[in-house]
Structure 1
Amino acid sequence: MKISDVRAHHIRIPYDAGVASFSQGAASIAALDIVLVEVTTDSGLTGWGDAFSYVCPRTTHAAIGEMIAPQARGQQVPDAAGIPAFMEQIQRNLHLFGRYGITMFAISGLDIALWDLAARAQGVPLHRLLGTQERTSIPAYASLLRIGAPELVAGECRTALSRGFSAIKLHETTTAPVHAARQAIGESIPLMVDLNCPLDGPAAIAFAQACREAKPLFLEEPVWPPEDFVTLAEVRRKGGLDVAAGENACTVHQFRQMLDAGAVSHAQPSVTKVGGITEYLKVAALADQRGVRLAPHSPYFGPGLLATLQLMSLRDDGAFVEFFYMKRDACLWRGRVDVDASGHVAVPAGPGLGYEPDREVMERYRVS
């Protein structure tokens, strides 16, 4: 079986996040940009991947067409045992264009699609290729976009709990909303705080200390730059709270640097960024060796979400799957991968990642 073609699809699905907002630079973002990677074969089987894009979908789309497709087209489709070597060679071939960022996002999309294909070829869900399934559903946390006003944060937290979510993550950079959230949800609900890399070391330490009474499960990415693992370790030591990071790290090599520095209690590989399923598995093994917990970064609604659920189902470690708290105009999976009334997301049981994307939704929301 050979790879006939590798094609990227840019899908833009509008959303409503209520009082919350997401912006980068001068632009307010009100739609989910998803770049799906479709790998077709001469046998008729198709695999689906997901390349991280957010505010750069055209760039990611171009990287797949210009860098990834020429590397893969015409190659023999590797089986599960052969995917790591296949992807290692592609990383070597493309290293000139960067070991992090867009190049690795595009590589991640291909890797996920190849694992989808490998499982589909055997007619089994992906988790069957990787190990023993420990969970058939994963508890979800509501990943709130940035709100700011403490009273609005409190209200959104209460609403999220009423809709079944069993934990909350904030994206706030001041302490008042953190304490408001804790007061709103009570002592027993896990609370996490993602700062998105804004602070220097002393400010991050002060923020952590000021949040201690709210008892967040962890502070996520408090430090700029995100690869300053020495400072991140200092925040962990002096701030009095656990620290999570890794969504901006690519390949197991950067995670090894992070863990060598003692920077985190929770490692956060992002399957659409880190290098795909292949690198995610390496990071998970490394974290286990070092006694560091996994808290995957996973605010996706494309094949990356399905891949994350398959991977998380292999571990009975209580970890939550991240779910952006928003109302989407449409779902690629016909609503089958949403949070249920008990606050869980079912792990797809079909071949490969578990589901085929809805072609009608793809066409309706396609960006030319």
Structure 2
Amino acid sequence: MTPTRRTFLRSALAGAAGGLSFAAADPDLKITGVRLVKTRPKNPLPSYAPAPDSYWVNREAARPISIYPQFTGRRGPGSKWMPDPAGPISSFTVEIATNKGVKGYGRGGDGGGPVVEGHLAKLITGENPLDIERLWDIQWRATLFYGRAGAAVHAISAIDLALWDLAGKVRGEPVYKLLGGRTWERLPAYATGNDIEQSVKFGFKKVKLALVHGPAQGREGLKKNVEQVKRTRELLGPDGDIMIDCWMALTETYTLQLADAIAPYRVHWLEEVLQPDDYEGFGRLREKIRSTLLATGEHEYTRWGFGRLLHYKAVDIWQPDIKWCGGMSEMRHIGSMALANGIPLIPHIGGSEEPIHYLAYMPALTWAETTLPPPGGPDRVYKMFEEQRLVSRGPEGVYLQPSERPGFGLDIDVA
């Protein structure tokens, strides 16, 4: 039975106070299967060997574990400390199937796959997949004794995203329309990575660096960091925005030294300077640093975690990751907190297929983070990237926008 626009709106508005539910749209729809799947792009970028000096070849940068000399900051192939990318605790995709043939797909962070298979699948099988908020709460309550963050919330995130993807397909609409419609036609974007020449050539006026050296490299490492920022400012020009990702690797003292040293180059924010649970440390730094803003949240979880950031007045900018923080349902709660307290919300990898729908809907203009394919490829690689990511250009450089296909518009096949 297809609902009228009036009955659908009544259902959505009724759920707004306690969470969205689209179940009235199809009360007979049931989840019949939940499984992990391997996916591949329907239209993959051409394969090529990236430039050997590209940041994305090995992703060498400051990391929390870099204080131990046997570990480098390498996150690419051959990393001694990152999980095996082909192993059971790597990032994953979940498929939710229904009795009417509609399927939804959701992606989650490291460690969540076994939680989906070993626990969450049985909690939602047989349920109406359009009861999205109710199913989130069931999973949350069922995992409290071992979860609340990390792998358990990564698992909930993936299932939640799969449910939103499925709901969009049931309605025949992109997710941003389910959220309440589009506020912004397109979002200004920034490029993350240390291939600055490539980013500037592509048209970006906002770039985020990965800090290469941490406290273990001492004063010499600090000087090299400053040189990296200075060179970026020269390449970007006086009006572009520079951000620096410190990936939980610094101390309070080092952060103060870094902020002072890079002040002449007008850095917009320092990101994740401390470990995620050091709320008081973030708060102390925010009271002392005036030359730049502080950002964090990539490794924070749920509205309760961001509530602690708010309580400690820890940072200026929140950066939840939709595949880790609890999915689209939780992004809505976190976003409402941010809006109510005047805190900019700039999600981690916010330009990817799922969070861009939230950013297009959110009634506060923000930026969308993205990454370019590594340099060294044929022109067709970057042209396809523009086409697939709906890239446009304007006064703020590069812009992105969400897909108009139903759900999140993931253009994938199950391998």
Establish whether TM, by shorter chain, passes 0.5: yes
Moved more, 30-39 or 270-279: 30-39
Q: Which residue of 2 aligns with 1:312?
A: 359
- Provide the residue aligned with 1:100 in structure 2: 149
Deviates more, 1:21-30 or 1:204-213: 21-30
Q: Which residue of 1 aligns with 2:197?
A: 158
Superposition map of 1:1-368 within 5 A: 1-10=29-38, 16=50, 18-20=53-55, 21-22=58-59, 28-30=75-77, 34-53=91-110, 59-78=111-130, 82-144=131-193, 156-172=195-211, 173=213, 174-223=225-274, 225-240=275-290, 241-298=292-349, 305-315=352-362, 317-327=364-374, 335=385, 336-338=387-389, 340=391, 342=393, 343-353=398-408, 355-359=409-413, 362-363=414-415
Alpha-carbon shift at residue 176 of structure 1 (Å): 2.2
Match for residue 80 of structure 2? none
Aligned to 1:150: none
2: CA distance between counterparts of 1:211 and 1:269?
Answer: 26
Partner Cα separation in structure 2 for residue 295 and residue 221 of structure 1: 13
Label 1:337 to 1:63 Cα distance change in 2 as closer, same or farther (>3 A): farther
Distance 1:280 1:299, change over 3 A: closer
Deviation, 1:189, is 1.0
- Aligned-residue offset at 1:11: 5.2
Output the TM-score relative to the length of structure 1. 0.83
Q: CA deviation at 1:12?
A: 8.4
Give the deviation of 1:76 after TM superposition.
Answer: 2.1
CA distance in 2, matches of 1:11, 1:299: 21
Percent pairwise identity:
23
Contact in 2 for aligned 1:140/1:339 (Cα 8 Å):
no
How much does 1:127 deviate?
1.1
Amino acid at match of 1:228: D
CA apart distance, 1:97? 2.2
Change in Cα spacing, 1:299 to 1:289, as seen in structure 2 (3 Å) is closer
Q: May I ask how many residue pairs the two structures share in their alignment?
A: 335
Q: 1:67 to 1:22 in 2, by over 3 A?
A: farther
- Displacement of 1:212 in angstroms is 1.4
TM-score by length of 2: 0.74
The 10-residue stretch of structure 1 (64-73 or 249-258) with the greater mean CA deviation from structure 2: 64-73
- SS of 1:274's partner is coil
1:131–1:109 distance in 2 versus 1, CA, 3 Å: same
Contact 1:139 1:166 in 2 (8 A): no
The SS at the match of 2:267 is: coil
1:168 maps to amino acid: V
What SS does the corresponding residue of 1:49 show, helix, strand or coil? Answer: strand
What RMSD, in angstroms, separates the aligned Cα atoms of the two structures? 2.6
Distance in 2, Cα, partners of 1:181 & 1:125: 37
Larger Rg: 2
Structure 1: stretches of 5+ with no match in the other structure: 54-58, 145-152, 364-368
CA distance in 2, matches of 1:289, 1:276: 20
